[in-house]
Amino acid sequence: MAFSITACVLLGIIILCLLRFLAAGTGLILLGKELRSFFFSPIAWVVLALVMLLNGLSFTAALADLREGERSVTLTAYTFNSIQFWLAYFFIFPVITMRLFAEEQKLGTIETLLTAPVTTIQLLLAKYLAAISFYIILWLPSLLNFVLFQMNSVDDHASIGSLAGSYTIIFLVGMFNIAIGCLASALTKNQLVAAMTCFTFCLLHFLLGFILQNLSVPDAFRETVTHFSTQIHVRAFIDGLIDTRQIIYYTSFSILLLNITYHVLEFRKWKV
């Protein structure tokens, strides 16, 4: 109950902050500019096509596997536990975040942005929300696959909870990983370095629980650290168990990472 109340309060604060940001004309203009820069970039369309292709392959492979006989798991669980899905997943964040601030620094336009009549938080939120928006769009075609399947199926209604949990954890983990990518991009002017840093930390966070299984560490330490393992969170959400503790975890750490990114940008601003 306490975690649910905390999650609701946190969600309310975020919504109020977003409404305040969108109500300001400058913030909305910056957001529109960043969204256009995403969709005018050929890399964005390549990423979208690649994610659609691999999601389609995962969906098709899951259907083929389920046709072989009675299975105790849903189509959603088969799809999001496949190698193809995770193959695409961890390459998304470096590609969509590496240019956010690193490109501005390389081109020398970061100084102009930081000294323009916009606040640092407006600039940061515009880039972050644009990346989140593009990330959501990446998964809409795969959601359509499940909607069409659900409309033509009479035996898979039990997967609705699994589907809701799967896309909830995809959004939460994406929100967290994009925040990591923003920080990595703000720390360097080299897009390749930003991409590798983002990929490394996102992958390490996901594999944290798996790595600890093969290490001789105290059980108390192992149990504590596994609470931070994305792999364990994903399994629970795919089973349809939406845990408010994980919602608080990913949301609060995303805010923390954005706060660090804000201070990095402020430091660069005062250097200018």
The rounded distance, in Å, linking the Cα atoms of 14 and 22 is 12
- What is residue 4's predicted lDDT score, i.e. its pLDDT? 62
> What secondary structure does DSSP assign to 103-133, as a single string?
HHHHHT-HHHHHHSSS-HHHHHHHHHHHHHH
Query: pTM for this one?
Result: 0.86
Per-residue pLDDT of the chain (272 residues; tens, 9 = 90+): 555 666 566 666 666 666 666 666 677 778 788 888 888 888 888 888 888 887 777 777 777 776 766 566 677 777 777 666 776 788 889 988 888 888 777 777 666 666 667 778 888 888 898 899 999 988 888 888 777 777 766 555 446 777 888 888 889 999 999 999 999 988 888 888 988 999 988 888 877 766 666 666 666 666 666 677 777 788 788 877 777 888 888 888 898 999 999 888 888 766 65
- What is residue 224's predicted lDDT score, i.e. its pLDDT? 67
Which tokens hold the place of 257? 């990472």
The rounded distance, in Å, linking the Cα atoms of 104 and 112 is 9
Q: Please name the helix (run of DSSP H) or strand (run of DSSP E) that holds residue 92, with its range, or none.
A: helix 83-97
- What is residue 158's predicted lDDT score, i.e. its pLDDT? 46
Q: Which of 167, 168, 160 is nearest to 249 (CA)?
A: 168
